[in-house]
């Protein structure tokens, strides 16, 4: 088993985090180091030279979110083996995994395995649930088994090849986010600031009211899901349309796909 596991992830609603932690448990190394990029405003400045890395990102419009690329700008590795995770909301992961593979290789990692896992969709609500409560126990078990299988392979072979994985190069075009953001119900909001504390792009302020700088909102919905008063909601018509499409076309349960 590897001596040390480095967990590198961006995870506003924590589903990606749960999967990378599951994989780390399966890898079984004595030491686990977390590099949580979610609130790391200036990104990660790090050169890795030992152990194994698990790198996890959510899928946004079939791609790696731009904010993840920015936060990994100053990350590099000297041939450290890496397992990759693209976490998607039960629609599709499209080019996200190959984009993450190319990014990891470009930074000096040796990509030895990859997985596409499913997490509750950022746009999921109580009334319109999408992949609600995923990853569940079955997903987490698969994550642990995946980690354990890779640890075994690493023991037998110190030079594992990069596996084939689905996705296209050039990657699909990024969709503009369009300056949309969740809104606050002033009657419910008690200005506790929980939304400010979880926002990964630091666009929310709470003084005598909560304001959101919509241009830099990435629609992750961490503020919606973490508001203790249920005062934040993302009900823009564009997102409402998206939700309806997801419920109509993407309700059939997808299962994790592993590549190694």
Query: Closest distance between ligand FMN and the C-beta of residue 221, in Å?
Result: 6
Site string for ligand FMN, 4-23 (x = CB under 6 A): -------xxxxxx-------
Q: Considering the rule CB under 6 A, would residue 212 count as an interface residue with ligand FMN?
A: no
| Residues 6+ away with beta carbon under 8 Å from 111 | 81, 82, 84, 101, 104, 105, 162, 163
Instruction: State which of positions 99-158 bind ligand FMN (CB under 6 A).
Output: 119-122
220 binds ligand FMN per the rule CB under 6 A: yes
DSSP string for 130-152: SSTT-S-HHHHHHHHHHHHHHHH
- If binding is defined by CB under 6 A, does position 89 make contact with ligand FMN? yes
Q: What is the smallest separation between the CB atom of 60 and ligand FMN, expressed in angstroms?
A: 4
Give the nearer residue to ligand FMN in terms of CB position, either 73 or 174: 174
Smallest gap from Cβ 236 to ligand FMN, in A, equals 12
CA nearest 185: which of 218, 216, 203, 212?
212
DSSP alpha helix (H) spans, 199-250: 222-226, 237-249
98 touches 168 (CB < 8 A):
yes
Residue ranges that bind ligand FMN, judged by CB under 6 A: 11-16, 58-62, 87-92, 119-122, 219-220
């Amino acid at each position: 088993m590897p001596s040390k596991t480095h967990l590198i992830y961006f995870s506003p609603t924590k589903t990606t985090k749960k999967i990378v932690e599951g994989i780390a448990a399966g890898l079984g190394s004595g030491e686990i180091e977390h590099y949580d990029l979610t609130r790391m405003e200036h990104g990660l400045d790090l050169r890795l030279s030992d152990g194994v890395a698990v790198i996890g990102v959510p899928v946004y419009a079939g791609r790696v979110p731009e904010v993840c690329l920015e936060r990994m700008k100053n990350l590099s590795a000297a041939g450290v083996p890496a397992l990759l995770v693209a976490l998607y909301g039960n629609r599709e992961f499209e080019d996200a995994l190959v984009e993450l593979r190319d990014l990891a290789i470009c930074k000096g990692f040796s990509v030895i395995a990859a997985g596409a896992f499913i997490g509750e969709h950022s746009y999921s609500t109580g009334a319109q649930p999408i992949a609600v409560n995923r990853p569940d126990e079955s997903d987490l078990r698969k994550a642990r088994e995946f980690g354990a299988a890779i640890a075994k392979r690493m023991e037998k072979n110190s030079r594992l090849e990069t596996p084939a994985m689905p996705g296209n190069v050039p990657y699909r075009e990024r969709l503009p986010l369009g300056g949309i953001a969740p809104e606050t119900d002033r009657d419910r909001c008690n200005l506790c600031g929980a939304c400010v504390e979880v926002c990964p792009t630091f666009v929310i302020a709470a003084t005598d009211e909560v304001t959101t700088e919509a241009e830099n909102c990435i629609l992750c919905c961490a503020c919606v899901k973490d508001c203790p008063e249920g005062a934040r909601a993302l009900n823009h018509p564009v997102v409402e349309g998206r939700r309806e499409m997801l419920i109509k076309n993407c309700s059939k349960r997808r299962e994790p796909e592993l590549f190694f």
